[in-house]
Amino acid sequence: MTTIKAYGATASTEELKPLDIQRRAVGAADVKIDITYCGVCHSDIHTVRNDWKGSTYPVIPGHEIIGRVTEVGANVSHYKVGDLVGVGCLVDSCQTCNSCEQDLEQFCEKGATFTYNSSDKHSDGKQTYGGYSTAVVVDEKFVLRIPENLDEAATAPLLCAGVTTWSPLAHWKVKKGDKVVVIGLGGLGHMGVKFANALGAHVVMITTSPEKGKDAKRLGAHEVLVSKDQGEMKKHQGSFDFILNTIPVGHEMDPYLGLLKIDATMVLVGAVEPLKPFNGGSIIMGRKRIAGSLIGGIKETQEMLDFCGEHNITSDIELIDMQDINTAYERVTSNDVKYRFVIDMKSLK
């Protein structure tokens, strides 16, 4: 065990503050990583504030981790000291169930171990602690290789925002010429726009923030719609093959379902809580589908990172010191980030 510096919350009503935490000794299959950058996901805030219930304190958030390998266990074969690596939302799973065998560790039938606030079999069931910290010890199966050509800090958000938007686009086979909507230009949404554009789709951004329109186009949107503009929304009825919905709270569904073509799908990744009641007719008419998606498996995360390396895709970030985290949380919840905060972990060392 080693004691390291971290930042976390001791209660849902408390601000984040410096805390000391322990990391396990490096086991035979483990990689120890000196964390250089960690992204700030809206899920970190939901967990700190116990929005989804089930948070165990202290919560040390952070699942968009980038760093360099400083130590490897005796059986580690894929990584060596000095390698640039990442850790996303998953740090363990059973490896034997149907889901794990299909590279869907996020749906592990025995329960995946998430990077923070998850029961940790390596420490007597105490919860896992995330990347708002100086170092982490992770089984090599859950470590990702980061393409060295990418900007290190701007790569961090790919580990969650990246794969969460990549995975549904890949699963529903979005392709050249498809008409795709991305709803919500935040951390996830801006990656969704970049990926859908890179896959050759015609991308329409739907936002509540008209002032983000110019940025949306720079990021790869071909058109921008303001959701409150009912006239514009009506013009696009029945015209989309796929909708990626990143709205972080419960919301009205009917206006968006109306945009889908026959047999088309809207995938929710943001709103975990109850949605506003919607009309069955909105999906019955047109045999439409509403689906959900949770991050992505390890294999898929590596595929996404390799795609980003080839296409030079990273996140648009605002780099902050660890000490600025509480202000950053306020700014994310008041919809004021372009488009992901990333913590420079030098500030904690």
* Residues that bind Zn ion in the complex, under the rule CB under 5 A: 41, 43, 160
> Which of 298, 320, 332, 343 is the binder for ligand NAP (CB under 6 A)?
332
* Closest CB to Zn ion among residues 188, 313: 188
Give the residue among 185, 214, 226, 156 at the shortest CA–CA distance from 339.
185
CA distance 144 to 161: 15
Q: How does 32-59 read in b/e, with b if 16+ C-beta sit within 10 Å?
A: bbebbbbbbbbbbbbbbbbbeeebeebb
* Nearest approach, Cβ of residue 62 and Zn ion (Å): 9
Judge whether 258 and 282 are in contact, CB under 8 Å. yes
* H runs (alpha helix) in the chain: 42-48, 98-101, 152-155, 161-171, 187-198, 213-219, 230-235, 254-257, 281-284, 298-311, 325-333
* Nearest approach, Cβ of residue 197 and ligand NAP (Å): 16
Q: Interface residues for ligand NAP in 260-279 (CB under 6 A)?
A: 269-270
CA distance 292 to 107: 13
| Strands 179-183 and 202-207, sheet pairing | parallel
What would the two tokens of residue 119 be?
């029961």
How many helical (H) and strand (E) elements, i.e. helices and strands, does the chain have?
11, 17
Give the contact letters, 158-197, x = binds to ligand NAP (CB under 6 A), - = no.
Answer: --xx--x-------------------xxxxxx--------
244 forms part of the interface with ligand NAP (CB under 6 A): no
* Closest CB to ligand NAP among residues 71, 318: 318
122 forms part of the interface with ligand NAP (CB under 6 A): no
Q: Any bridge partners for residue 32, and if so which?
A: 71, 137
Judge whether 132 and 7 are in contact, CB under 8 Å. yes
CA distance 206 to 335: 15
* Closest CB to ligand NAP among residues 31, 253: 253
> Which of 32, 46, 122, 202 is the binder for ligand NAP (CB under 6 A)?
46
> Which of 42, 122, 202, 288 is the binder for ligand NAP (CB under 6 A)?
42
Judge whether 201 and 179 are in contact, CB under 8 Å. yes
> Which of 90, 144, 247, 325 is the binder for ligand NAP (CB under 6 A)?
247
143 binds, among ligand NAP, Zn ion, none (CB under 5 to 8 A by kind): none
Q: Supply the DSSP symbol for 207.
A: E
Q: Which of the stretches 39-47, 90-98, 109-117, 237-245 binds ligand NAP when contact is defined by CB under 6 A? A: 39-47
Q: Which of the stretches 4-12, 22-30, 42-50, 319-327 binds ligand NAP when contact is defined by CB under 6 A? A: 42-50
212 forms part of the interface with ligand NAP (CB under 6 A): yes
* Residue whose Cβ sits closest to ligand NAP: 186
249 binds, among ligand NAP, Zn ion, none (CB under 5 to 8 A by kind): ligand NAP
CA distance 312 to 151: 9
Residues forming the site for ligand NAP (CB under 6 A) = 41-43, 46, 160-161, 164, 184-189, 207-209, 212, 246-249, 251, 269-270, 293-295, 332, 335, 337
